[in-house]
């Protein structure tokens, strides 16, 4: 009787165990599927998030580029104003200067040049504190000649126009000739400058000085003609340099022609 009960219980227990094992396996498979789905969903969400971040970054970059393109400074570069031609390379008084001001800029800022710049709608001009005839050329004319090397407004205009106007006054030859030994180094520094605009201002100042002092400039020509001969290789300056040499010959006489020919053999005299 006991053996029969024992076998009966064994038979009832085995199906129950098999059913429990099957249920456990199904649950594990179910959990595994859920886990795989969660992993897939997580990777999908991660890819979606990364694509959203990339789109956001691209949108920010585009907005930054569009904002920079629409900034006033960029618009000014693309569409320059007519007044920009009158104020090339204008100094920003509120900006930080990377270098110390030049000697001419320091003198001008301290009021060492007795004139002020008057801005016109079409053309600028200088207003002198007293008639230029009453101003001493030493050291004013030399300071203006040194200012020809400046590259920023208003220094470029003040030096160029001030030098020209001083040489136009009555009695300028008598005041300028004694200063030639000190004027020539300043003019030479402008003529050897790498900036084309500085060179052009130096060349014009040399012609203006030649008209005033005449043959007195001949003794100093050899110090200036070397830089002119180098610039002659540039087609851009061939015509203005030739015109300047003709002015030097015209006001310097035969002595200037000999000096010019010794430094620039290809020069053709105006007398030919």
Position 77 pLDDT exceeds 80: no
Range of the domain at 142: 101-263
Query: Quick one: DSSP state of residue 153?
Result: B
CATH number at residue 259: 1.25.40
Q: Measured between alpha carbons, how far is 113 from 43 in angstroms, rounded to an integer?
A: 75
Residue matched to tokens 């320091």: 106
108: left (phi over 0), alpha (psi -120 to 50) or beta: alpha
Residue 193 or 65, more confident:
193
More reliable by pLDDT, 40 or 173? 173
Confidence grade of residue 19 (pLDDT, cut at 50, 70, 90): very low
List the Cα angle 237/240/245 in 5-degree steps: 115
The average pLDDT across 34-55 equals: 52
Helix (H, G, I), strand (E, B) or coil at 128: strand
Q: Is residue 257 part of a domain?
A: yes
Altogether, the residues listed in the chain come to a count of 272
Q: 272 lies in a domain?
A: no
Domain-embedded: residue 79 = no
pLDDT at 51: 58
**Paired tokens of 151:** 């590259």
Could you read off the pLDDT of 216-258 as tens digits, one per residue?
999 999 999 999 999 998 889 999 999 999 999 999 988 999 9
The answer to whether position 254 is within a domain reads yes
The answer to whether position 233 is within a domain reads yes
pTM: 0.64
112 and 174 in contact (C-beta within 8 Å)?
Answer: no
Q: What is the mean pLDDT of the chain?
A: 78
Contact present, 206 and 160 (Cβ < 8 Å): no
Q: What pLDDT score was predicted for residue 84? A: 55
Distance CA 96, CA 160 (A): 26
Residue 255 falls within a domain, yes or no? Answer: yes
Domains in the chain, number? 1
């Amino acid at each position: 009787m006991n053996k029969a009960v024992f076998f009966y219980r064994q038979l009832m227990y085995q199906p129950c165990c098999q059913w429990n094992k099957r249920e456990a396996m199904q649950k594990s498979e179910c959990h595994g599927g859920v886990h795989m789905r969660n992993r897939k969903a997580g990777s999908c969400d991660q890819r979606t998030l990364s694509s959203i971040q990339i789109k956001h970054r691209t949108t920010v970059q585009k907005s930054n580029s569009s904002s920079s393109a629409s900034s006033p400074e960029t618009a000014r570069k693309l569409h320059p104003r007519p007044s920009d031609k009158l104020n090339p390379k204008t100094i920003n008084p509120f900006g930080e200067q990377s270098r110390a001001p030049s000697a001419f800029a320091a003198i001008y800022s301290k009021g060492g040049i007795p004139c002020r710049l008057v801005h016109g709608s079409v053309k600028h001009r200088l207003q002198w504190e007293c008639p230029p005839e009453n101003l001493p050329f030493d050291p004013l004319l030399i300071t203006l000649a040194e200012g020809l090397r400046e590259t920023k407004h208003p220094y470029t205009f003040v030096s160029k126009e001030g030098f020209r106007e001083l040489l136009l006054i009555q009695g300028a030859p008598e005041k300028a000739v004694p200063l030639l030994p000190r004027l020539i180094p300043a003019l030479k520094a402008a003529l050897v400058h790498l900036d084309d605009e500085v060179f052009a201002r130096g060349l014009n100042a040399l012609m203006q000085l030649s008209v005033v002092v005449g043959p007195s400039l001949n003794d100093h020509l050899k110090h200036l003609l070397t830089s002119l001969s180098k610039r002659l290789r540039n087609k851009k300056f061939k015509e203005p340099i030739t015109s300047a040499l003709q002015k030097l010959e015209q006001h310097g006489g035969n002595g200037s022609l000999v000096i010019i020919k010794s430094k620039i053999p290809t020069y053709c005299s105006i007398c030919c």
